[in-house]
Amino acid sequence: MFAPLIGITTSVTVDKAPERAYVNIAYVRAVQDAGGIPLLLTPHLSAEVVAALWQRLDGLVLTGGGDIDPARFGQARHPRVDDVSAARDELELGLTRRAVDENVPLLAICRGIQVLNVALGGTLVQDIPDERPGPIAHSQTEPRQQPTHAVKVMGEGTRLGRVLGTLEVDVNSMHHQAIDRLGAGLREVAWAPDGIIEGVEMSGDDRFVLGVQWHPEELVGRDRAARNLFAAVVDVARRRVRR
């Protein structure tokens, strides 16, 4: 069967030598196990190389990592904003807009859901404990594979609900930021019990743009819903003929 090429964005060191690009292997395994061919997309690739790679990609996974520069959504920087990489912001915001414009399937994870929102003109809560204090610890101290809070998914007519195969999932949580004002064309479709947005999507049956605030790549070993997310993006990428 045709194996689609799925771009996976990477983290990058900030103000540290040597410069490194890196990604948790869990993303690579999750895409590979779903039948995709993972291709790592690092910041600092030239515009020419990115354009050439883009022509070959069938799908895109945006990964977790440091914070987006709040200047990207017109705000001053909260003191807890950390690990900002201008190069990573630039690459990922650009790729996201291309994916949306050209209808390339996109799964946006953790930082990724935030990149998706900012790319479409939305804003972020820059620090949940400071700006939206509540009973849920979104920066869990438990192991990454351990779910720590519930997420409820909107039932009626959501792509996320159909893909997950369930409307209630227990998720891990490793984020101190979240979506505030939604970007153009996005709708919120999943929430933590404290109201923090944990899932978004773009409407349209012909469109696959999903964002989740949790880390399904760490849950694939125990959770069918997490596996379903990767299976879905690979499946849509496979059916989409770009060549």
Residues lying near Mn ion in the complex (CB under 5 A) are found at: 138, 173
Q: Which of 159, 208, 225, 150 is nearest to 188 (CA)?
A: 159
CB of 198 to Mn ion, least distance (A): 6
In the complex with Mn ion, the residue whose CB is nearer, 111 or 138, is: 138
Residues annotated catalytic, as ranges: 110, 215, 217
In the complex with Mn ion, the residue whose CB is nearer, 12 or 189, is: 189
CB of 73 to Mn ion, least distance (A): 20
The CB density around residue 3, as the number of other CB atoms within 10 Å, is 13
Q: Which of 70, 85, 72 is nearest to 22 (CA)?
A: 85
CA–CA distance, 26 with 67 (Å, rounded to integer): 20
In the complex with Mn ion, the residue whose CB is nearer, 104 or 179, is: 179
In the complex with Mn ion, the residue whose CB is nearer, 173 or 177, is: 173
The β-bridge relationship of strands 168-171 and 186-191 is unpaired
The residue ranges of DSSP E strands in the chain, in sequence order, are: 5-9, 11-12, 21-22, 37-41, 59-62, 106-109, 124-125, 149-153, 168-171, 178-179, 186-191, 197-202, 209-212
- Closest residue to Mn ion in the complex (CB): 173
In the complex with Mn ion, the residue whose CB is nearer, 74 or 135, is: 135
First to last CA, the chain: 16
CB of 136 to Mn ion, least distance (A): 7
CB of 57 to Mn ion, least distance (A): 29
CB of 151 to Mn ion, least distance (A): 8
| DSSP code string of 28-94 | HHHHHHTT-EEEEE-TT--HHHHHHHHHH-SEEEE---SPPPGGGGT-PPPTT-----HHHHHHHHH
Contact 210, 108 (CB under 8 A): yes
Q: Which of 36, 38, 43 is nearest to 10 (CA)?
A: 43
Identity of residue 61: V
